[in-house]
Amino acid sequence: MILVLDIGNTNIVLGVYENTRLVTSSRMATDRLKTADEYAMLIRDLFSYHGLDFTAIDGAAISCVVPPVIGTFEDLVRRYFHCEPVVVEPGIKTGIVIRYENPKEVGADRIVNAVAAYEKYGGPVIVVDFGTATTFCAISAAGEYLGGAIAPGIGISSEALFARAAKLPRVELVKPRSVIGRSTVASMQAGIIYGTVGLVDGIVKRMKLEMGGDARVVATGGFAPLIAEDSSEIDVLEPNLTLEGLRMIFEKNRPCP
Protein backbone atom coordinates (compact mmCIF):
# COMPACT_ATOMS: atom_id res chain seq x y z
CA MET A 1 0.00 0.00 0.00
CA ILE A 2 1.04 3.58 -0.68
CA LEU A 3 0.83 6.45 1.82
CA VAL A 4 0.34 9.92 0.31
CA LEU A 5 0.71 13.08 2.40
CA ASP A 6 -0.39 16.59 1.43
CA ILE A 7 1.11 18.91 4.06
CA GLY A 8 -0.59 22.31 4.08
CA ASN A 9 -0.29 25.35 6.31
CA THR A 10 -3.40 24.44 8.31
CA ASN A 11 -4.00 20.70 7.79
CA ILE A 12 -2.22 17.56 6.70
CA VAL A 13 -4.34 15.35 4.46
CA LEU A 14 -3.19 11.75 4.21
CA GLY A 15 -4.46 8.96 2.02
CA VAL A 16 -3.76 5.25 1.69
CA TYR A 17 -3.89 3.67 -1.77
CA GLU A 18 -4.03 0.04 -2.75
CA ASN A 19 -3.02 0.21 -6.41
CA THR A 20 -5.33 2.97 -7.76
CA ARG A 21 -8.04 2.60 -5.09
CA LEU A 22 -8.18 5.13 -2.26
CA VAL A 23 -8.67 2.95 0.81
CA THR A 24 -9.05 5.79 3.30
CA SER A 25 -8.23 9.45 3.87
CA SER A 26 -7.88 11.54 7.02
CA ARG A 27 -6.97 15.04 8.17
CA MET A 28 -4.89 16.25 11.08
CA ALA A 29 -3.64 19.68 12.12
CA THR A 30 -0.23 20.83 10.89
CA ASP A 31 2.05 21.34 13.89
CA ARG A 32 5.60 22.49 13.17
CA LEU A 33 6.73 21.46 16.66
CA LYS A 34 5.69 17.80 16.47
CA THR A 35 8.44 15.22 16.01
CA ALA A 36 8.52 12.35 13.52
CA ASP A 37 7.70 9.96 16.37
CA GLU A 38 4.65 11.98 17.46
CA TYR A 39 3.28 12.13 13.91
CA ALA A 40 3.97 8.41 13.48
CA MET A 41 1.88 7.61 16.55
CA LEU A 42 -0.98 9.75 15.21
CA ILE A 43 -0.86 7.97 11.87
CA ARG A 44 -0.68 4.56 13.53
CA ASP A 45 -3.78 5.41 15.58
CA LEU A 46 -5.62 6.47 12.41
CA PHE A 47 -4.60 3.20 10.75
CA SER A 48 -5.85 1.24 13.77
CA TYR A 49 -9.18 3.10 13.71
CA HIS A 50 -9.68 2.25 10.02
CA GLY A 51 -8.54 -1.36 10.46
CA LEU A 52 -5.37 -0.95 8.38
CA ASP A 53 -1.98 -2.57 8.89
CA PHE A 54 0.59 0.13 9.74
CA THR A 55 3.41 -2.14 8.54
CA ALA A 56 1.81 -2.75 5.12
CA ILE A 57 2.98 0.61 3.70
CA ASP A 58 5.75 0.05 1.17
CA GLY A 59 5.88 3.44 -0.52
CA ALA A 60 5.10 7.10 0.18
CA ALA A 61 4.69 10.40 -1.66
CA ILE A 62 4.80 13.83 -0.01
CA SER A 63 3.88 17.34 -1.09
CA CYS A 64 4.60 20.11 1.42
CA VAL A 65 4.25 23.89 1.52
CA VAL A 66 5.61 24.16 5.09
CA PRO A 67 9.42 23.84 4.77
CA PRO A 68 10.13 23.17 8.49
CA VAL A 69 7.91 20.08 8.40
CA ILE A 70 9.14 18.29 5.28
CA GLY A 71 12.25 16.86 6.95
CA THR A 72 10.13 15.50 9.80
CA PHE A 73 7.99 13.47 7.43
CA GLU A 74 10.92 12.27 5.34
CA ASP A 75 12.45 10.97 8.57
CA LEU A 76 9.12 9.38 9.55
CA VAL A 77 8.79 7.48 6.27
CA ARG A 78 12.38 6.21 6.34
CA ARG A 79 12.27 5.08 9.97
CA TYR A 80 8.78 3.61 10.22
CA PHE A 81 8.10 2.37 6.69
CA HIS A 82 11.69 1.61 5.63
CA CYS A 83 11.41 3.21 2.21
CA GLU A 84 12.52 6.40 0.48
CA PRO A 85 9.65 8.88 0.04
CA VAL A 86 8.90 10.53 -3.29
CA VAL A 87 8.91 14.26 -2.50
CA VAL A 88 7.36 16.76 -4.90
CA GLU A 89 10.25 19.16 -5.54
CA PRO A 90 12.22 20.56 -8.50
CA GLY A 91 13.54 17.81 -10.77
CA ILE A 92 10.80 15.27 -10.08
CA LYS A 93 8.93 13.70 -13.02
CA THR A 94 5.41 15.10 -13.32
CA GLY A 95 4.57 15.06 -17.02
CA ILE A 96 3.71 18.78 -16.72
CA VAL A 97 5.81 21.52 -18.35
CA ILE A 98 6.00 24.51 -16.00
CA ARG A 99 5.93 27.91 -17.75
CA TYR A 100 6.39 29.97 -14.57
CA GLU A 101 9.15 32.59 -14.71
CA ASN A 102 10.83 30.72 -11.86
CA PRO A 103 9.48 27.14 -11.74
CA LYS A 104 10.92 26.63 -8.24
CA GLU A 105 8.39 29.15 -6.89
CA VAL A 106 5.37 27.01 -7.75
CA GLY A 107 3.93 25.35 -4.64
CA ALA A 108 4.11 21.58 -4.53
CA ASP A 109 0.35 21.32 -3.95
CA ARG A 110 -0.36 23.36 -7.10
CA ILE A 111 1.84 21.07 -9.21
CA VAL A 112 0.18 17.96 -7.77
CA ASN A 113 -3.29 19.36 -8.52
CA ALA A 114 -2.24 20.23 -12.07
CA VAL A 115 -0.97 16.68 -12.68
CA ALA A 116 -4.19 15.08 -11.43
CA ALA A 117 -6.54 17.48 -13.23
CA TYR A 118 -4.73 17.17 -16.57
CA GLU A 119 -4.48 13.37 -16.41
CA LYS A 120 -8.17 13.02 -15.47
CA TYR A 121 -9.72 15.70 -17.67
CA GLY A 122 -7.13 16.76 -20.21
CA GLY A 123 -6.64 20.41 -21.07
CA PRO A 124 -7.24 23.23 -21.02
CA VAL A 125 -8.22 22.98 -17.38
CA ILE A 126 -8.34 25.35 -14.43
CA VAL A 127 -7.95 24.08 -10.86
CA VAL A 128 -9.36 26.05 -7.93
CA ASP A 129 -8.05 24.84 -4.56
CA PHE A 130 -9.86 26.10 -1.45
CA GLY A 131 -7.31 25.81 1.32
CA THR A 132 -5.58 28.28 3.64
CA ALA A 133 -5.23 30.31 0.44
CA THR A 134 -7.56 30.03 -2.54
CA THR A 135 -5.36 29.19 -5.51
CA PHE A 136 -6.13 29.15 -9.22
CA CYS A 137 -3.98 27.14 -11.64
CA ALA A 138 -4.23 27.19 -15.45
CA ILE A 139 -3.07 24.20 -17.51
CA SER A 140 -3.03 24.35 -21.31
CA ALA A 141 -4.29 21.77 -23.80
CA ALA A 142 -0.66 20.70 -24.26
CA GLY A 143 -0.15 20.01 -20.55
CA GLU A 144 1.70 23.22 -19.75
CA TYR A 145 1.37 24.82 -16.32
CA LEU A 146 0.78 28.41 -17.38
CA GLY A 147 0.52 30.02 -13.95
CA GLY A 148 -2.40 31.25 -11.92
CA ALA A 149 -3.59 33.43 -9.06
CA ILE A 150 -3.46 33.29 -5.27
CA ALA A 151 -6.12 34.91 -3.07
CA PRO A 152 -6.76 34.86 0.70
CA GLY A 153 -8.63 31.75 1.75
CA ILE A 154 -12.10 31.74 3.26
CA GLY A 155 -10.76 31.03 6.74
CA ILE A 156 -8.21 33.84 6.52
CA SER A 157 -10.86 36.31 5.37
CA SER A 158 -13.18 35.33 8.21
CA GLU A 159 -10.47 35.59 10.85
CA ALA A 160 -9.34 38.97 9.51
CA LEU A 161 -12.84 40.39 9.99
CA PHE A 162 -13.01 39.06 13.54
CA ALA A 163 -9.49 40.26 14.42
CA ARG A 164 -9.65 43.73 12.92
CA ALA A 165 -13.26 44.80 13.54
CA ALA A 166 -13.96 45.17 17.25
CA LYS A 167 -17.73 44.59 17.10
CA LEU A 168 -17.75 41.67 14.65
CA PRO A 169 -17.82 38.14 16.12
CA ARG A 170 -16.11 34.98 14.94
CA VAL A 171 -18.68 33.11 12.81
CA GLU A 172 -19.22 29.57 11.63
CA LEU A 173 -18.49 29.23 7.91
CA VAL A 174 -21.85 27.99 6.67
CA LYS A 175 -24.06 29.29 3.88
CA PRO A 176 -26.78 31.68 5.13
CA ARG A 177 -30.39 31.46 3.97
CA SER A 178 -30.15 34.71 2.02
CA VAL A 179 -27.46 37.00 0.65
CA ILE A 180 -29.31 39.82 2.45
CA GLY A 181 -28.40 39.01 6.04
CA ARG A 182 -30.81 40.01 8.82
CA SER A 183 -28.26 39.70 11.61
CA THR A 184 -24.59 40.51 11.99
CA VAL A 185 -23.65 36.82 11.83
CA ALA A 186 -25.78 36.16 8.73
CA SER A 187 -24.44 39.31 7.07
CA MET A 188 -20.84 38.21 7.67
CA GLN A 189 -21.58 34.71 6.39
CA ALA A 190 -23.21 36.15 3.27
CA GLY A 191 -20.29 38.47 2.60
CA ILE A 192 -17.67 35.75 3.11
CA ILE A 193 -19.42 32.92 1.24
CA TYR A 194 -21.02 34.79 -1.64
CA GLY A 195 -18.06 37.16 -1.84
CA THR A 196 -15.84 34.13 -2.42
CA VAL A 197 -18.25 32.81 -5.07
CA GLY A 198 -18.00 36.14 -6.90
CA LEU A 199 -14.21 36.14 -6.53
CA VAL A 200 -13.92 32.64 -7.97
CA ASP A 201 -16.27 33.22 -10.90
CA GLY A 202 -14.66 36.55 -11.74
CA ILE A 203 -11.09 35.24 -11.75
CA VAL A 204 -12.01 32.07 -13.66
CA LYS A 205 -13.80 34.07 -16.39
CA ARG A 206 -10.74 36.30 -16.84
CA MET A 207 -8.42 33.28 -16.92
CA LYS A 208 -10.55 31.62 -19.60
CA LEU A 209 -10.31 34.77 -21.74
CA GLU A 210 -6.52 34.83 -21.40
CA MET A 211 -6.35 31.12 -22.26
CA GLY A 212 -8.18 31.78 -25.51
CA GLY A 213 -11.55 30.22 -24.85
CA ASP A 214 -13.24 27.65 -22.68
CA ALA A 215 -11.64 25.40 -20.06
CA ARG A 216 -12.96 22.80 -17.65
CA VAL A 217 -12.91 24.06 -14.07
CA VAL A 218 -12.12 21.62 -11.26
CA ALA A 219 -12.56 22.54 -7.58
CA THR A 220 -10.85 20.86 -4.64
CA GLY A 221 -9.87 21.60 -1.05
CA GLY A 222 -11.67 21.69 2.28
CA PHE A 223 -13.99 24.61 1.49
CA ALA A 224 -14.75 23.55 -2.11
CA PRO A 225 -18.19 21.99 -1.37
CA LEU A 226 -19.28 25.23 0.33
CA ILE A 227 -18.60 27.30 -2.80
CA ALA A 228 -19.03 24.92 -5.75
CA GLU A 229 -22.83 24.63 -5.72
CA ASP A 230 -23.32 28.40 -6.07
CA SER A 231 -20.53 28.97 -8.59
CA SER A 232 -21.49 29.36 -12.25
CA GLU A 233 -17.97 28.49 -13.40
CA ILE A 234 -17.01 25.35 -11.43
CA ASP A 235 -17.72 22.20 -13.46
CA VAL A 236 -16.39 19.38 -11.29
CA LEU A 237 -15.89 18.90 -7.55
CA GLU A 238 -12.91 16.64 -6.75
CA PRO A 239 -12.37 16.37 -2.98
CA ASN A 240 -9.39 14.01 -3.36
CA LEU A 241 -7.68 15.67 -6.33
CA THR A 242 -4.42 16.33 -4.47
CA LEU A 243 -4.22 12.77 -3.15
CA GLU A 244 -4.83 11.44 -6.67
CA GLY A 245 -2.05 13.66 -8.00
CA LEU A 246 0.36 12.39 -5.37
CA ARG A 247 -0.44 8.80 -6.30
CA MET A 248 0.15 9.58 -9.98
CA ILE A 249 3.47 11.29 -9.26
CA PHE A 250 4.53 8.36 -7.10
CA GLU A 251 3.89 6.00 -10.01
CA LYS A 252 5.97 8.20 -12.32
CA ASN A 253 8.86 8.22 -9.83
CA ARG A 254 8.45 4.86 -8.12
CA PRO A 255 11.75 4.03 -6.38
CA CYS A 256 13.50 0.79 -7.18
CA PRO A 257 12.99 -1.89 -4.51
**Distance between CA 27 and CA 29 in Å, rounded?**
7
The residue annotated as part of the active site, out of 31, 58, 75, 109, is 109
Q: Which residues pair with 60 in a beta bridge?
A: 3
DSSP-derived pairing of the beta strands 133-139 and 144-152: antiparallel
Q: How many CA atoms lie within 13 A of 51 on its CB side?
A: 1
Residue 109 bears catalytic tag: yes
**Distance between CA 167 and CA 180 in Å, rounded?**
19
Beta strands (DSSP E) in the chain are 2-7, 11-18, 21-29, 59-64, 86-87, 97-98, 125-130, 133-139, 144-152, 216-220, 236-237
**Distance between CA 257 and CA 249 in Å, rounded?**
17
Q: Which residues pair with 11 in a beta bridge?
A: 29
Query: Can you spell out the DSSP letters for 72-84?
Result: HHHHHHHHHH-S-
Catalogue the active-site residues.
Answer: 109
